[in-house]
């Protein structure tokens, strides 16, 4: 099988066995991780303004995370499925190269 040449700053996103991108488990997000998520609001002209918020996870309660945005000094209580790790590969790369399907415990 041909191993794709996917290079990232760190090798923690690629499988050692097949070379494809490892699946990112949202349950592995822990306190202190740098994350980002999208938020939105309506302005005075009723136009939807979408913004990306970057922050640090300061607490975790089951599948909900408390994220501190240090720029705005605000905290957000958000579902883990709406949050992405800052240095993780973009979603389109998983569609372009494929996702690791190896059954190894520690890739």
6 inside domain: no
Within-domain flag for 7: no
65 Cβ contact partners less than 8 Å away, ≥ 6 residues apart: 29, 35, 57, 59, 77, 78, 79, 80, 83
Domain assignment present for residue 4? The answer is no
pLDDT of residue 4: 57
Domain that residue 41 falls in: 14-106
Identify whether 9 is part of a domain. no
> Structure pTM?
0.72
- 8 lies in some domain: no
Is the pLDDT at 17 greater than 50, yes or no?
yes
Q: What is the CATH number of the domain that holds 23?
A: 2.30.30.140
Is residue 60 situated within a structural domain? yes
Burial 47-75 (b: 16+ CB within 10 A, else e): eeeeeebebebeeeeeeebbbebeeeeee
pLDDT at 107 over 70: no
pLDDT digit string, tens, across residues 64-91: 999 999 888 999 999 999 998 888 887 7
- Per residue in 28-66, pLDDT (tens digit) is 899 999 999 998 989 999 999 999 999 999 999 999 999
The pLDDT score that the predictor gives to residue 80 is 93
Structural domain total, the chain: 1
């Amino acid at each position: 099988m041909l191993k794709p040449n996917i290079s990232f700053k760190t090798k923690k996103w690629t499988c050692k066995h097949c070379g494809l991108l490892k699946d990112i488990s949202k349950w592995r997000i822990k306190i202190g991780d740098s994350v980002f998520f999208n938020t939105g609001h309506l302005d005075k002209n009723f136009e939807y303004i979408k913004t990306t918020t970057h922050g640090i996870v300061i607490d975790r309660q089951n599948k909900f995370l408390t994220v501190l945005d240090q720029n705005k000094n605000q905290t957000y209580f958000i579902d883990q499925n709406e949050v992405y790790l800052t240095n993780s590969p973009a979603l389109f790369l998983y569609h372009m190269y494929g996702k690791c399907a190896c059954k190894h415990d520690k890739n």
